[in-house]
Amino acid sequence: MEQIRTRDEGSALGTTEPIVETRTRILDSTKKSINFAGSQAIEAARRGGFRETIVQKIGLAVHEIMTNAVIHGNGGDLHKKVVVTISRTPTKLRIEIADEGGGFDPDRLPDPLSPEGLLRGSGRGVYLARAFMDEIQVRREPVGWTTVIMAKSVDSAR
């Protein structure tokens, strides 16, 4: 697993604040990786001063998006990787999760709160991430990867 730490300016976070920490990990498409990414996000959120209720929501959002990356994006293929970058400024936590999948349109996902959606065993990950994070963006990369970017402000009320 690769780890990168920087203290440069926050252009990668869309801010001029200094980056307090950035860590990038290249992970296998496994359940262990899903749990690892969630625990890393929780630790970064705690170091960032988030309230414990928010820390748990961040952990759940990362768990859900990682699960989607491993199962749906990479199809559970152990040869495919997931790249997770967790960055923190004094006021914001940003998590990027990239998989080798073909991508999806988050606006075309079925409504998990519809009567049919409530009965399905899956389909709530992006919904939960949207509910728990302040920002979420899905980007298809030109090289065939899909990246989900999530951010949470320290002063967020939700």
Model confidence pLDDT, tens digit, residues 57-74: 999 999 999 999 999 999
pTM (two decimals): 0.83
Query: What DSSP character marks residue 73?
Result: I
The domain that contains 60 carries what CATH number?
Answer: 3.30.565.10
* Residue 23 β-bridge partners: 86
- Provide the domain count of the chain: 1
Give per-residue pLDDT as tens, 122-155: 567 888 999 999 999 999 888 889 999 999 999 8
Residue 158 domain-assigned (yes or no): no
Residue 102: what pLDDT?
Answer: 81
In this predicted model, what pLDDT tens digit does every residue of 80-127 receive, in sequence order?
999 999 999 999 999 999 999 887 666 666 666 666 655 555 567 888
C-alpha to C-alpha distances, 123 to 2, 71, 105, 111, 126, nearest whole angstrom: 31, 12, 13, 8, 8
Domain range enclosing 59:
11-153
68 inside domain? yes
Identify whether the C-beta of residue 57 lies closer than 8 Å to the C-beta of residue 45. no
